[in-house]
Structure 1
């Protein structure tokens, strides 16, 4: 709903990198192969690599060019081993109408949509999806999904109760394919310098009062010996890596998220009384020197310089924080110079702290109304999901290119449809720690993602610091184990609104978001009284928030 988490996109890429590194096992399992013998919706036969008289299907699309893909000689986004594999295995030729620099992709997509000239299929965000629906430019794929999505694909989307699929519907019609990921991946944790706790004889935090004490002691006692320490990290965007989401959650405040109130209506988390309480505490911490006075001008990279410089030893962040940005601060020249530990969120009172999470969708794939072979798009989708369990040697081309070896070239990003399991990491949090503790990879049931993490940790135990990232994520008590603990203890606060931007959101959201960030920053920096929060709430309501709330609740009633 609210775009607080721009840096979370990077975190999702970190997760993808860890996943891909695990895809080079040679044990074959290929039970999920989709059928290619059915008829297309236009009456033409779908293709199969086994067909001697197969008809080649061409699908047009548009792509962003990932800056970090390392191309094999002679290859590009237009001609590469991954596209060749889809043509060979499925009989589908993918043709890019254009390829844009990743930084210009959204602008170019918007211009293309405005022109009305779109390819057969392409990826969009939720706002662009809504625009395409209103312009009647994309296909109702309800029956296509039912007919051509494989059984594994349908099961893939079922584990969240259907919310991700529901987010792609308009008036009951399925208008896009959600690019799924796990909502649990956006959960928050407390990351603390364990060596500093030990140096100051402080215990691991159990309550928010403990967290506040640790922040105060880190500031006063300067365990890094630099002459000036701060209690917690904070950067100018307030949320995302080195942000405050987990801190607010400890006060049962859920910024940017919609929750049910006592009457069962949806209310906006950023304007609730719990936010005022948490902001007041942050203002106190700022006034007592526990927060960098220049945080309002620093991004996460600049804040990480303070972390690397031993000036900050506590942060709120996602499960992957050890991979980015902590690793660059904690590991130097192959040696661990900072000993970090991860802990569950703590609560300010007797109620357990819940971590807020969103829908877990990274975008949508839409199909043009003029596409002659929409079933071919679903063949691409089915193939990607099949690849998650297949370990046939030749299938490695989709991840590593023609050499079938992981060279760190990130060829998986070339695939036109990429998505991840809704429950992958939270289930790994149950299994991986047990396997690591027992030194028994057999407990992992040949799951390649978990085996990749397991192997990295074995190397870490032997002194290879490249495994430190996965150690904090996958070990007993690591972030994945806490992720699973959150699930068992019912400690996820789901954003209850996952519909398209409402009419008033489209008109007013940017203004309201800007005002929200501005007043929160001013309150924290003690530039205005905490009572300005009440004025902000009144302004938010009058400037469009009340209309948005009504529209959100109208949508919510229709979901019941």
Structure 2
């Protein structure tokens, strides 16, 4: 995994999910400006312009290098997919070496644990008050750190030290707002694109053509397709089902979120009601309408009777056996689990197509999306060089970085995972979806301005040449692929954002898990006809009485506060 430093940085830019910015770090409360003045990078704009302690303005890709080098401490979790070269580890590797060489920043891990131990280890560190300069936390851990006054207020650093290009990663959405407490920015979000959580209809195009069925433009079409796939058995299996489902009803892989959205129901999401207040989507009347239809489909044999005890991998066994031909899922469903059924020995054995979610009426179906924040990066109040983290952010947010692919770097797909700070550009896949289909038609790549788009293009060309291993990326990049639909969703204003995006309210912290379990239980019973449809009304009453009413009040109190 050893490589020269320019090669390493070019690999950061090329990661297929990763955007032009691969590293970044966030936050927490501190108004003590003295923390921003010591060993300051000369080109980082800030009100504190003294105390640079020997820095020279050596430019590195438009930025500067700390001279002498500074040290930043952090903590890490391991990733089983990272394959280290001999002599390398999470503590010493080409990525860490590159930071030191290019930016004069030495990265030191205070500890490294397995992924499944990370949260517990962070909780212990927070409880003891012994924390490194910067590290990744969950939203609940962020609140604990803020309450304990252990992390720095990043408002001034964000405003003064972050480049305009880097700010675009945060200001185009409400992601930064989710890290604010009393108006102070206490963390930098570990960003992902909200649009990546959108939903699509996946179905067997060869079955559709065989049965001479229309493409799914309406929910009526979806229901007709589900019935035909089940009753007419186009795959020749002993038993065929019309629609995939799994035990986690709202999962991104074989879940039913997109089906509910087709009835203008938005489970698990806070939406605006007619009065402009926030209300919980799972307890709205539209949910009952969709549930009634799912119950009818289940009774008619269109849904796997065992879905309630299956995850997506087990449900995909029906797909592999040609017993299932339609599912709702995310843009990456072609990577997992569908690819395991569609591709055998690098050859396509199932012809799948993807479509936008359909509506039950003449009102467009909105696809509900999350905020797109996976975690948060915080900075200790004791950190001596918090601005250095923003230097890293600026380095990776440069829009005109040379999108060169270096095929000579071993294990290049994993380099970005060694970064202690990772960001994804919010509009990456939307941009790719706007240009890739045309590029694949014309073979003109001049409009493919991101490394990600170029990689998807190359993989798609390889698929067309016969390499079935690239089918999943072809399903994203092609004409009518998921990324083009993602772009179309954005042009048609069909994204519905969760309006509640701050830390859980007090009642959520104690009641939400119980309410969620009750929701899953009763909805599953209704779908599987173990409970009558009118039990949904009882569920709504119970939900309110068991804490939902109080949660709704707390949510709207917060919502009123941010509108002031």
Alignment TM-score, normalising by the size of structure 1: 0.89
Partners of 1:35 and 1:52 lie apart in 2 by 7
Partners of 2:347 and 2:267 lie apart in 1 by 38
Partners of 1:502 and 1:180 lie apart in 2 by 22
Is the alpha carbon distance of 1:52 and 1:520 closer, same or farther for their aligned partners in structure 2, counting shifts above 3 Å? Answer: closer
CA shift, 1:157, in A, is: 2.0
- The 8 Å contact of residues 36 and 90 in structure 1, kept in 2 or not, is answered as no
- The 8 Å contact of residues 65 and 104 in structure 2, kept in 1 or not, is answered as no
Work out which of the residue numbers 270, 278, 287 in structure 2 matches 1:258.
270
The reply to whether residue 511 of structure 1 matches residue 514 of structure 2 is yes
Secondary structure of the equivalent of 1:372?
coil
The reply to whether residue 172 of structure 1 matches residue 183 of structure 2 is yes
2:75 corresponds to which residue?
Answer: 62
1:466 corresponds to which residue?
Answer: 469
Partners of 1:548 and 1:16 lie apart in 2 by 43
Greater Cα shift, 85-94 or 35-44: 35-44
What number of residue pairs does the alignment pair up? 525
Deviations 1:6-38 (A, max 9, x none): xxxxxxxxx996346999xxxxxxxxxx97544
- The 8 Å contact of residues 179 and 419 in structure 1, kept in 2 or not, is answered as yes
The reply to whether residue 370 of structure 1 matches residue 382 of structure 2 is yes
Instruction: Give structure 1 stretches of 5+ with no counterpart.
Output: 1-14, 24-33
The CA RMSD measured in Å over matched residues stands at 2.4
Greater Cα shift, 287-296 or 404-413: 404-413
- The 8 Å contact of residues 130 and 501 in structure 1, kept in 2 or not, is answered as no
Secondary structure of the equivalent of 1:410?
helix
Is the alpha carbon distance of 1:389 and 1:39 closer, same or farther for their aligned partners in structure 2, counting shifts above 3 Å? Answer: closer
Deviations 1:64-110 (A, max 9, x none): 10111111111110111101111111111111111110122122222
CA shift, 1:477, in A, is: 1.3
1:453 corresponds to which residue?
Answer: 456
The reply to whether residue 439 of structure 1 matches residue 437 of structure 2 is no
2:324 corresponds to which residue?
Answer: 312
Partners of 1:101 and 1:430 lie apart in 2 by 39
2:51 corresponds to which residue?
Answer: 43
Secondary structure of the equivalent of 1:559?
helix
1:149 corresponds to which residue?
Answer: 162
CA shift, 1:52, in A, is: 9.8
- The 8 Å contact of residues 48 and 89 in structure 1, kept in 2 or not, is answered as no
1:33-182 to 2 correspondences below 5 Å: 36-38=42-44, 43-45=51-53, 54-160=67-173, 163-182=174-193
Q: Which runs of 4+ in 1 moved over 3 A?
A: 19-23, 34-53, 406-409
CA shift, 1:406, in A, is: 5.3
Work out which of the residue numbers 206, 227, 234 in structure 1 matches 2:245.
234
CA shift, 1:47, in A, is: 7.2
1:12 corresponds to which residue?
Answer: none
Is the alpha carbon distance of 1:478 and 1:196 closer, same or farther for their aligned partners in structure 2, counting shifts above 3 Å? Answer: same
1:382-461 to 2 correspondences below 5 Å: 382-386=394-398, 389-391=400-402, 405=409, 407-444=411-448, 446-461=449-464
Secondary structure of the equivalent of 1:379?
helix
CA shift, 1:384, in A, is: 2.9
Secondary structure of the equivalent of 2:290?
helix
Partners of 2:14 and 2:200 lie apart in 1 by 20
Work out which of the residue numbers 206, 219, 233 in structure 2 matches 1:195.
206
Partners of 1:187 and 1:294 lie apart in 2 by 26
The reply to whether residue 528 of structure 1 matches residue 509 of structure 2 is no
Partners of 2:543 and 2:455 lie apart in 1 by 47
CA shift, 1:433, in A, is: 1.4
2:486 corresponds to which residue?
Answer: 483
Secondary structure of the equivalent of 1:322?
coil
1:18 corresponds to which residue?
Answer: 16
Secondary structure of the equivalent of 2:392?
helix
- The 8 Å contact of residues 279 and 530 in structure 1, kept in 2 or not, is answered as yes
Is the alpha carbon distance of 1:489 and 1:22 closer, same or farther for their aligned partners in structure 2, counting shifts above 3 Å? Answer: closer
Deviations 1:188-238 (A, max 9, x none): 000000011111121111111110111111111111111111111111111
CA shift, 1:156, in A, is: 2.6
Instruction: Give structure 2 stretches of 5+ with no counterpart.
Output: 1-12, 22-39
- The 8 Å contact of residues 19 and 424 in structure 2, kept in 1 or not, is answered as no
2:36 corresponds to which residue?
Answer: none
Partners of 1:294 and 1:52 lie apart in 2 by 59
Is the alpha carbon distance of 1:440 and 1:111 closer, same or farther for their aligned partners in structure 2, counting shifts above 3 Å? Answer: same
